[in-house]
Amino acid sequence: MKVLVPVKRVVDYNVKIRVKSDKTGVDLANVKMSMNPFDEISVEEAVRLKEAGVATEVIAVSVGPQQAQETIRTALAMGADRGILVKTDAEVEPLGVAKILKELVGAESPDLVIAGKQAIDDDSNQTGQMLAALLGWSQATFASELEIADGKAKVTREIDGGLQTIEVSMPAVVTADLRLNEPRYASLPNIMKAKKKPIDEKTVEELGVDIAPRLTVLEVTEPAAREAGVKVETVAELVDKLKNEAGVIG
């Protein structure tokens, strides 16, 4: 069984985001970038499937500039077998990424795509679902447990009311939630080995995909500053402020 795992290069989650002065987007100059945390979980799950003898090959895919190759190398160091970089300097929206992945799925014929449920930069939570729709495949989103057996995927999903367990036919697209696993740290020997693993480079033009943006960003702004709290002496004073100042109770 072949598993394809999309990985995205994003601003590292430890970095404090700065908005450009003209409010057109996020300032990426001299900012540390890393793999999207949900994609780390996807890679880990794919590698675990391979270690368990369920999967035979794990392919890491990224869409982005040349520097996205570093993100693929991280996936290779974690245990992926090879990588594919679709090079583009354009901003690619979820639909564009899904179209690119559809073409790669057609070329590679994987049985399973494991994607992060969302990227921490745009929080779209759309690519996995769009890919499943374009392929006509089964989909299971927000996975916190995954079992593959007899041509089916048994997936426990995190939903508002708790957990839901479903079974879907393969091939399938599964999107990983936070509690699916804890990603491993790549060891130094594996980091060195990753440098020798192959990464194929393709372009959007080669794949014949239209990635023209469907959305226009009007303005990007900093979140409102948090107001200072107020200390109260009694419960009665607290209730009074909640009722008459905050207006949150009747």
Both tokens assigned to 222: 């900093």
Are the beta carbons of 140 and 157 closer than 8 angstroms?
A: yes
Three-state secondary structure call for residue 249: coil
**Rounded Cα distance, 209 and 139, in Å:** 23
Question: Token match 């014949």: residue?
Answer: 208
Residue type, 66: Q
Burial (0-12, 13-18, 19+ Cβ within 10 Å), 230 = exposed
Q: What is the pLDDT of residue 195?
A: 92
Q: Which of 147, 143, 5, 20 is nearest to 72 (CA)?
A: 5
Q: What is the pLDDT of residues 167-225, one digit of tens each?
A: 999 999 999 999 999 999 989 999 999 999 999 999 999 999 999 999 888 988 888 88
The percent of residues above 90 in pLDDT, for the chain, comes to: 75
Distance CA 171, CA 151 (A): 8
Start-to-end C-alpha separation, the chain: 59
User: Is the Cβ–Cβ distance between 135 and 127 less than 8 Å?
Assistant: no
pLDDT per residue over 31-85, tens digit each?
999 999 999 999 999 999 999 999 999 999 999 999 999 999 999 999 999 999 9
pLDDT at 50: 97
Q: Which two tokens stand for residue 78?
A: 């974690």
**Domain covering 2-222 in this structure, CATH number:** 3.40.50.620
H-state helical runs in 34-166 = 37-51, 68-78, 94-108, 127-135
pTM: 0.86
Q: Which of 6-10, 220-224, 231-235 has the highest mean pLDDT?
A: 6-10
Give me the residue spans of the domains in the chain. Answer: 2-222
Distance of CA 31 to the CA centre of its chain: 19
